[in-house]
Structure 1
């Protein structure tokens, strides 16, 4: 029975991850995931533990909280439905990862499935870079087609650290391991992504136990902060051109990263100033709209609310541009705008809950869950965090939560409460 489950559920999981990354339509991805969940619940013997249901409750609360302010406003149904899809995405992702690997129930196969998905994703990425784009030296042209890919990063670290935690080789033939490693590394580098660098750093320090708060890690963190300050001091004083190509263009992006998020005094008529600080601009516009409705600071503006940019921004391929947007790059401002301070408190509690896994038994799964919690805390500043429409990490997390629960059950030899 398990062999049959592996043949069905592992390819399904890999397919869902790749579709989430490469299918442009967010709604189509969610509908596919809901269909997959429906099929698993109908044809599989699905059980959800009480602990896992507790993990879903904060997301259900945020989903329902978003309807409170909606009741008092006349929003278009299309915009309301769009927000609903975004707010059910974490629930769908967690459920998919959890129920699929509850059927498989093999931690090693979970890790291997991520590596296989990463290899396929790397091949797709390199095909895009070298064939479709024709390998341009302009980073902005490469990133126009390929933004971030956290699947590749997880695959890379799972591949490297598999033997450390599972005391065995992932592939019987060593050459396959080296080829997979080279392929994924090349793919990761060619994303030129600042956010992927952050995740890579977090995975390294988490795997080596350096995200626990101890006297040693506090000192290391202080050294890191000083080093980071020196780096940005150097970049701020270096003559790095905004319109430069290649590595210099990437360094310019790194240089402006802090002010890109937090600068709010922006000259909208100065396109250089506007696009270099776009995240700050849209967050400031959202806050100014909330000031018009003081209650929104508590419960948000609700599902269906839009942010008026005050001009038609060329954010899509449409010639007329977009004046009203629903999503924000800053995930904290996005949650604050939709659900108020109550939503922000719930959102933060979720991520700190996941981070706290580092203080449990130092297993591979607990380390990964904690690193994901930390990453969401940081990525919520730039790419909407948990509510990023292309995020695949939430599905990896759902699977990891099942194995954390399963490992704890084996340790305590206690059967968890189950709900059909």
Structure 2
């Protein structure tokens, strides 16, 4: 008879690979929802108060979303779509939590993520160098054909890099193979040409080294980092970069416009160059303008099914859309749908994840590692919520890592101490 833990691991791997490679959001959500329902109905599983407490802000946000649409008549299809958006992270965390709850082996969980990260990295590089034309393709074509990002590879990289420090032995014990795997992951991460992935690569490393905890050492490190970023932008604004160029110059142009892409809201809609370079800001501004028309939306949001009127048909995805349901800026998205209470709750959820770095047992390096990982994911979502919807993006594999890690979160206030690492 197959041990239950291998069944759980197999299901987990299938769910994550589907999340990464299966393009249908509806199919993925249905698969995950049915699997969670099956686990709850067929298994003798107890759900701890700790996981309910961790998820409580998300559960409240989900409930608030039902308030706003009572004030307006929204399309049923868009109501259902929004409900699934806000239910998906709760469902995903519960699912991965339950799959690993009874395994009690953190290193096994990390090996599973490392396996998935290595597999996707090899597939990515095979596509670029064997199936594609890397020497002649533009960055946009490479990203369009072989993937915009894959954050699991970033986490897999750090799982392998830090495993010996926290577990006494590496997830890959052969030194040469370990270096090879780290190299493959790092090359694959870079060749996504994703600004977000590069920021996350730095941010997770920053956190895993202990710098996310505010100390004098951290402040000095942050100071040097800010100085480096300022010098980088001084350089970027001192040279002329063509937005239509190929290769590294195109990537540097995207880095150059990144800050104003998010925050600039006064945009000439007729100037297509300016519009697409600042699309996130334009979306957010349109949401704020619509909320002004209904002041109660600032409190309880516009509710499930509400749409943002772009005032023109924009070529988004495979079709032209004048009305959109989800925004790139996740904070604005939550605020638009659930009001100020929803915005406060999502911040509470993410900050509580980050604060895990302040809680660990001095005698338990495994728990220290788990807490730093959870804290790193909190930082990950604090950043990605600003630009790619965070936990509410339709395709997100990291939320499953979070659920698995929460099953190993054995924090006890009475036994934990604050120490410097």
Please state which band the TM-score falls in when normalised by the shorter chain. over 0.9
1:120 counterpart = 2:119: yes
2:373 to 362, 368, 375: 368
State how 1:5-404 maps to structure 2 within 5 Å: 5-135=4-134, 136-145=136-145, 146-318=147-319, 321-361=320-360, 363-404=368-409
SS in structure 2 opposite 1:313? strand
8 Å contact 2:330–2:388 — kept in the other structure?
A: yes
Q: Could you list the per-position Cα deviations for residues 80-136 of structure 1 after superposition, in whole angstroms to 9, with x for gaps in the alignment?
A: 000011000110111122111113221110000000011111122223323443334
2:364 aligned residue: none
Q: After the TM superposition, which of the residue ranges 341-350 and 127-136 deviates more from structure 2?
A: 127-136
Q: Could you list the per-position Cα deviations for residues 250-302 of structure 1 after superposition, in whole angstroms to 9, with x for gaps in the alignment?
A: 00000000000011111111110010000001110111011111111111110
Query: CA 1:403–1:130 in 2, change beyond 3 Å: closer, same or farther?
Result: same
Q: Could you list the per-position Cα deviations for residues 191-242 of structure 1 after superposition, in whole angstroms to 9, with x for gaps in the alignment?
A: 1111111211121111111111112212322232222122112212211111
8 Å contact 2:55–2:349 — kept in the other structure?
A: no
SS in structure 2 opposite 1:230? helix
Q: After the TM superposition, which of the residue ranges 214-223 and 333-342 deviates more from structure 2?
A: 214-223
8 Å contact 1:5–1:103 — kept in the other structure?
A: no
In 1, distance between residues paired with 2:98 and 2:189?
29
1:417 aligned residue: none
8 Å contact 2:284–2:327 — kept in the other structure?
A: yes
Query: CA 1:291–1:356 in 2, change beyond 3 Å: closer, same or farther?
Result: same
SS in structure 2 opposite 1:256? helix
In 2, distance between residues paired with 1:87 and 1:285?
21
8 Å contact 2:74–2:305 — kept in the other structure?
A: yes
CA drift at 1:44: 2.9
* Stretches of structure 2 lacking an aligned partner (at least 5 in a row): 362-367, 417-421
CA drift at 1:394: 1.1
In 2, distance between residues paired with 1:379 and 1:238?
28
CA drift at 1:408: 4.2
8 Å contact 1:300–1:337 — kept in the other structure?
A: yes
8 Å contact 2:69–2:304 — kept in the other structure?
A: yes
SS in structure 1 opposite 2:316? coil
1:418 aligned residue: none
In 2, distance between residues paired with 1:261 and 1:154?
25
2:419 aligned residue: none
* Stretches of structure 1 lacking an aligned partner (at least 5 in a row): 413-420
Q: After the TM superposition, which of the residue ranges 129-138 and 282-291 deviates more from structure 2?
A: 129-138
Equivalences, count: 408
8 Å contact 1:9–1:103 — kept in the other structure?
A: no
Q: TM-score, normalised by structure 2?
A: 0.93
In 2, distance between residues paired with 1:336 and 1:102?
33
In 1, distance between residues paired with 2:176 and 2:228?
38
Query: CA 1:409–1:108 in 2, change beyond 3 Å: closer, same or farther?
Result: farther
CA drift at 1:189: 1.3
In 2, distance between residues paired with 1:247 and 1:410?
52
In 1, distance between residues paired with 2:127 and 2:82?
31
